[in-house]
Amino acid sequence: MSDLAVRATEIPGLLIVDLPVHGDNRGWFKENWQRAKMTALGLPDFGPVQQNVSFNDEVGVTRGIHAEPWDKFVSVATGRIFGAWVDLRKGESRGRVVTVEMGPEKAVFVPRGVGNAYQTLAPNTAYAYLVNDHWSPEAKEQYTFVQLGDPALGIEWPIPLERATLSEADQNHPVLAESRPARPRRTLILGAGGQLGTALAQAMPDAIALPRAEADLAKPETLDAIDWRDVDAVVNAAAYTAVDAAETEEGRREAWATNVTGVLHLVELARRHRIPLVHVSSDYVFDGVREVHDEDEPFSPLGVYGQTKAAGDALVATWEQHYIVRTSWVVGDGKNFVATMRMLAEKGISPSVVDDQHGRLSFTEDIAAGIVHLLRTRAPYGTYDLTNSGPTKTWADIAADVFELCGRSRDDVGRVSTEEYGAGKHMAPRPRHSTLDLAKITAMGFAPADARERLTRFLAR
């Protein structure tokens, strides 16, 4: 009896599982699917929702090669088979073949897009498979096939195909050169029209990038219209961010509709389809009393915007496959503080800027790069602080940096307190300290660029 083990193959994502089979004078027993043990050994936690069994009376029954739009976990309940798997996805491994003879002592995890086939080697063979999506006529339209006897594959079937039992459909599938590649799953970006969404779309050119007009968190029916079977991860860069307007009656309702109710629906969709969810958070979930905030600090929001972001974070954390990426003082292509200060500097205006709110800038290209890093490296799920690095500064310090880089004197920036700046204005409360601790994201192998270097480059553009 072998120990439980999970082994990689030459096809990326295709895994062979050695199953311990316990036998005595009554027969045998095995744990065919054991989530905790198998995922601990590296098997994806693929979330099966349906089990199918194919019973074959005779030796030589041959089925496949089919690639379906879901992952499969195949095994043998009784009898023996010769299994063959062909990578039908786009890429350098397309057409690669793996074959295994197996009985009850083995199972194979087959990722979406890899063609599956088998030939029975014993009578009364029961072939079972778990899948992580329900069969439907719509799903069948995404199947892709390849011919069992295609010479380009070179599969040496134990029983020659001319003596095997095949369906008419399996006999008439195209050869690999004429076969349609399996449709890949792609990352979905919500909020693609905003500053961060634009940077994410540039960092992930193959992603599905949807602006608010196509997918609005405040209108859950627009999310339901998405074909989630084609999504391998979702990045939520959409949010209600009008901090001051959120304090009004109408703004409060819109903030809660987008940042909480809409996020709840998104979490439910991610859980239902078992896909990782990246959610962008904010320093406004804290009151700013601590000078530096780490990922474990309890929520303490001051205003409505921060309250809705904290509530959204709590909802996202209920789905185990989540990344909460907390950032602050975002700068990208569009309306932002740096762009405003540059405009004032160029027009010869000398502004008064708040000098008692402290933090770091976060350039969207670096936030996007950090999110891509988390997804590509499959970092442990959880919350990650992500801003640019460098010393903590006030808004007035940053404004002076902008003026200096634009050829103006730093002294042209006046410095005022938050109270002075807000006198006579309808303003939401702001955290006085927004600096985020970058130790965790750095430990994951991502080193955020220095904020001053990014500012210089941003203004040079």
User: DSSP alpha helices (H): ranges in 290-336?
Assistant: 304-316
DSSP 57-114: -STTBEEEEEE-SS-EEEEEEES-EEEEEEE-SSSTTTT-EEEEEESTTEEEEE-TTE
Strands (DSSP E) contained in 283-339 are 292-293, 322-327, 330-331
Which of 118, 129, 323, 384 is catalytic? The answer is 129
Known active-site residue 173: no
Q: Which amino acid would we find at residue 60? A: G
How far apart (Å, rounded) are the C-alpha atoms in residues 99 and 78? 19
Contact 117, 100 (CB under 8 A): no
Contact 81, 101 (CB under 8 A): yes
What secondary structure letter does DSSP report for 164? S
Known active-site residue 134: no
What secondary structure letter does DSSP report for 244? T
CA end-to-end span of the chain, whole Å? Answer: 65
Contact 323, 371 (CB under 8 A): yes
How far apart (Å, rounded) are the C-alpha atoms in residues 236 and 54? 41
What secondary structure letter does DSSP report for 259? I
The encoded tokens of residue 365 equal 């290209």
The encoded tokens of residue 279 equal 């959610």
Q: Which residues are marked as active site?
A: 66, 129
